[in-house]
Amino acid sequence: MPGIALDTKHDESRQGEAFAPKKAVTNPFTKKFYIESYGCAMNFADSEVIASILQKENFEITTQFEEADMIFINTCSIREKAETTVRKRLTEFRQMKKHNPGLLVGVLGCMAERLKSKFLEEEKLVDIVVGPDAYRSLPSLIEEAESGQKGVNVLLSREETYGDISPIRLNSNGVTAFVSIMRGCNNMCSFCVVPFTRGRERSRDAESVVRECTDLFEQGFREVTLLGQNVDSYQWVKNSDNLIISFANLLEKVAQISPLLRVRFSTSHPKDITDEVLFTMKKYDNICKYIHLPVQSGSSKILQMMNRTYTREWYISKVNRIREILPGCGLSTDSISGFCGETEEDHKETLSLFEYCEYDLAYMYFYSERPGTLAERRFKDDVPLEVKKRRLQEIVALHRIHSLKSMERDLDKTFKVLIEGNSRKSDEHWAGRTDHNKVVVFPKTGDLNKGDYVDVLIEECTAGTLIGRVK
């Protein structure tokens, strides 16, 4: 069990989703590609960019890997388990290649970047290896691979944002969409592989972000989630008038597209989140009052070793500020148990911080040492696996109490819910989310559709779902 997440929306351990095209165009002469994605929302958003690049070259997407001429896996390296899962999947695709020698198999994303050409040597039957900043070269690498060469491009860029590419919305509910606003990360959290797999941080042209969100709204989408590893450090300079656009400015511009467009964002960094962002959230009803603020550990000693550049006290002051400016704001977090040198005392500090914050949602993991990171070079991974797992379980158990409490607080209250589609369990029920990002399920009544807002009275709840009826 690598980590436990009690929700799927921002879960970077999402595994192996194949994308379904909205409209299937079939032409027997066109080459078909299949893409399976792992990892965080940014990786899933990247797969939509990749699909757009390939469709422009007249390749056709398929959801059936059995009928594909090319299979791509967009991979994640965040924890060892993520890589093991991909390797297993590759073994299956390799088997297929034995029966279909013309089939091309490509590894994309963070694992491609981390392992580079080693991938071609180790995993003999991979034909294409492409890192996160090199997707534009995919069509030419496919050509190279078709002519029997190995297609590799793992160059990282300081500029690439794919800002001009309109992602193809795949596997989409037609209501909610991810929009990348930046790439890479300049922080050097000692446990984290992302700065190595995704390179330096760069912000996307604000005008292209607003354009993409406006297009989505015009197509009927009603919620956008602005994505970056550290959205608070977003900064884009408009050269024509030397204007600096901060994250708060961008948030405001997107919120102004329409009051009917909900705006979310992820991830905020405790060291960088500003009052300006909080006041912008307060100013606009359509900016969802929900913040994902990963803490990682409640111990200042561990936070320092993690190079998070804040202390426990700083984090608490940020949570207090959020609650002061935005009373009732939803709050979620990420935590890592059993980082190098973590004592029972440090672990207790994480538990007491969870107690203080009472998160609505948490993604909880145990530490997985990643090759090449600062922690791997500097510290000993000295907490035994069973201790890491036991500490993780203690955090999970405590968080369960808080998340249930948070759901129970909503009983007998009415919330504006954005309908995202049928509930997973029955097409007689709608499923949607509240402003605070809680899933709500309720029986279908009257003339409602996906993408509508509706007031729902909450009558029951489980740890993950609110159950109600239209008011």
Please report, as ranges, the residues that interact with ligand F3S according to CB under 6 A.
12, 39-40, 42-43, 76-78, 109-110, 193-194, 197-198
* C-alpha span between 265 and 207 (Å, rounded): 17
- Say whether residue 312 binds ligand SAM (CB under 6 A): no
Q: Which stretch binds ligand SF4 (CB under 6 A): 66-74, 80-88, 191-199, 402-410?
A: 191-199
Query: CA 53: distance to chain centroid?
Result: 21
Among 185, 250, 261, 418, binds ligand SF4 (CB under 6 A): 185
Asked if the peptide bond before residue 267 counts as cis, ω within 30 degrees of 0, the response is yes
195 binds, among ligand SF4, ligand SAM, ligand F3S, none (CB under 5 to 8 A by kind): ligand SF4
Asked if residues 57 and 139 have their Cβ atoms less than 8 Å apart, the reply is yes
| Cα–Cα nearest to 465, from 451, 445, 424 | 424
CB 365 within 8 A of CB 399: no
Alpha helices in 123-174 (DSSP H): 138-146
How many Å apart are CA 466 and CA 433, to the nearest integer? Answer: 9
Strands 3-5 and 361-366: antiparallel
Which partner from the list ligand F3S, ligand SF4, ligand SAM, none does 365 bind, CB cut-off 5 to 8 Å by kind? ligand SAM
Indicate which single residue of 196, 365, 415, 442 sits in contact with ligand SAM (rule: CB under 6 A): 365
- Report if residue 33 touches ligand SAM, rule: CB under 6 A: no
Q: How far is the CB of 223 from ligand SAM (least distance, A)?
A: 21
Under the criterion CB under 6 A, does residue 189 sit at the interface with ligand SF4?
A: yes
DSSP H or E segment with residue 206: helix 206-218
Among 32, 97, 269, 388, binds ligand SAM (CB under 6 A): 269
Query: In this structure, are residues 413 and 458 in contact, taking their beta carbons and an 8 Å threshold?
Result: yes
Question: Which among 185, 270, 275 has a CA at the least distance from the CA of 227?
Answer: 185
422: β partners:
430
**CA-closest candidate to residue 72, choices 58, 86, 56:** 86
Taking CB within 5 to 8 Å according to partner kind, which of ligand F3S, ligand SF4, ligand SAM, none is near residue 42?
ligand F3S
Cβ closest to ligand F3S, residue 44 vs residue 217? 44
Contacts of 218 (CB under 8 A, 6+ apart): none
Which listed residue (4, 9, 12, 35) binds ligand SAM by CB under 6 A?
12
Among 49, 61, 73, 78, indicate the residue that binds ligand SAM (CB under 6 A).
78
Question: Does residue number 364 form part of the binding site for ligand SF4 (CB under 6 A)?
Answer: no
Residues that bind ligand SF4 (CB under 6 A): 185, 187, 189, 192, 194-195, 229-230, 269
Query: What residues make contact with ligand SAM under the rule CB under 6 A?
Result: 12, 40, 78-79, 191-192, 194, 229-230, 267, 269, 294, 296, 334, 336, 365, 367-368, 370
